[in-house]
Structure formats: C-alpha cells, structure tokens
Structure 1
Amino acid sequence: MDLSTLDFAGLLQLRTDVDAEIRRRESEEKAKAAKQVMDLIRTHGLDIQELATKSVKSPASGTRKPVDAKYRHPDDASLSWTGRGRKPLWVVTWLDSGRALDDLLIK
C-alpha cells in the first residue's frame, strides 16, 4: 500500500481501521491464550483456585529488624556503622587517612 497516494482524511480513516484491527486481534490472541491455559489446567488436573493462591507472594512480614553495628569510631562512640549500604563520611575520612577498616571493627 502506497500511503503517499492517500489524502489526509484517507490516512485518518486508515489509522482508525488499523487501530480497530489491532484491538480485534489482541482480543483474539488473549482468548486463544486463555483457552490454552485452561486446557493445560484440565490436562494436568490442577485447580484454578489453588493455582491463584500459590502464585501470589505473601507480603513481607512487618518491618526489618535493625542490624547491630559492626564498626565504631574509636574516639567517638556515637559514630557507628552496620557495614551495609554506603559508607558514612567518617568511615571514608578514616580510610582516606590510610587507616584500615579492620581498625574500626567492634570486638
């Protein structure tokens, strides 16, 4: 089909027709897929309710427990870090001064 031969109204009509055909085929594909799924369920003797409850993950239970600090500044006990996530500025400064992270381990 040579689109350059169509006028503006013809192009708009073509777009409408194409959109309608896409919706129709999408509906057909979904129906076909649903039939295949139902056939598989019947073939294997599965229960659709059982599948629905097993496939949904349960939400995480509550909030996470706080993690104990793994590192503490030797001069300022209020500065601590669990070792998870981004290093706090005081740890970066400590490491930049040439000292080892192991020096900060809580024993």
Structure 2
Amino acid sequence: MPDIKWDKLSLDELKDIQKQAAKAIDSYNARKRKEALAAAEAAVAELGFSLSELTSGAKAKTIKAAPKYCHPDNPAKTWTGRGRQPVWFKEALESGKSPEDLLIAK
C-alpha cells in the first residue's frame, strides 16, 4: 500500500478516496455474501434439501404476554406490566391505589 500524505490532499481528493473505499467495501461484502450463500446451498444440497425449503416458514414466533393488571372499573382494559404505563394505570396510582390493588386475581 502506498504511503499517502493525507494532510497534503484536498477535501475533494479525500472525498473521492472515501467514495472509492465505500464502493470497494460494498463490492467485497457482496462477493462474500454470494460465496456464503453458495456454500450454504451446497451444504444443504448434500443433505437433500434446498435452502428455500429450510428457511420457509422460519419466522420467529412471538409470545404475547398475559395481562397482569386490569382497570378497577372496566376489566376489559388490561396491561401486561411491560412497556409504557397506560393512562388509567397512572391515574389509579395517583389516586392512591397501589400496583398490587390493580393485579388481576388468579
């Protein structure tokens, strides 16, 4: 690699080098991705599958949390205890109730 005098280059020259480097990095990553895909396809082909067969339907399943708290007057309004507190929960706390008072009875 040549010894570049970075402080002697103009801003335009530096930006041009930056663009060329970004293109080279993108090209390198694309080649590596293509190689990895080919290797993965070859590996699953040895086992008698295709890569699309193994990856179809591979979506992560989310587990919905069960409600932990409910509105004292309207049991249809619930909260899992995760994320932002609902307005009704905050108002109940401000009115003197404790979180334990709002728990759903087991």
1:88 Cα deviation from its structure 2 partner: 4.8
| Structure 2 Cα separation of the partners of residues 32 and 89 of structure 1 | 58
* 1:12 Cα deviation from its structure 2 partner: 3.5
Unmatched runs of 5 consecutive residues or more in structure 2: none
Identity %: 10
TM-score under structure 2 length normalisation: 0.53
Higher-Rg member (1/2): 1
In structure 2, give the amino acid aligned to 1:31: K
Deviation per CA, 1:10-64: give whole Å up to 9, x if none: 32432232123122212211111111211221133223342232313589xxxx9
Which residue does the alignment assign to 2:31?
Answer: 28
Q: Which runs of 5+ in 1 are unaligned?
A: 73-78
TM-score (norm 1): 0.53
CA distance in 2, matches of 1:19, 1:83: 50
Contact persistence 2:41–2:50 (CA under 8 A): no
Matched pairs, number? 89
Select which of 82, 89, 92 maps to 1:90.
92
SS at match of 1:30: helix
CA contact (8 A) 2:40 2:51 kept: no
Tell me the distance in 1 between the aligned counterparts of 2:28 and 2:51: 26
Q: CA RMSD in A?
A: 3.8
> Structure 2: how far apart are the matches of 1:48 and 1:15?
36
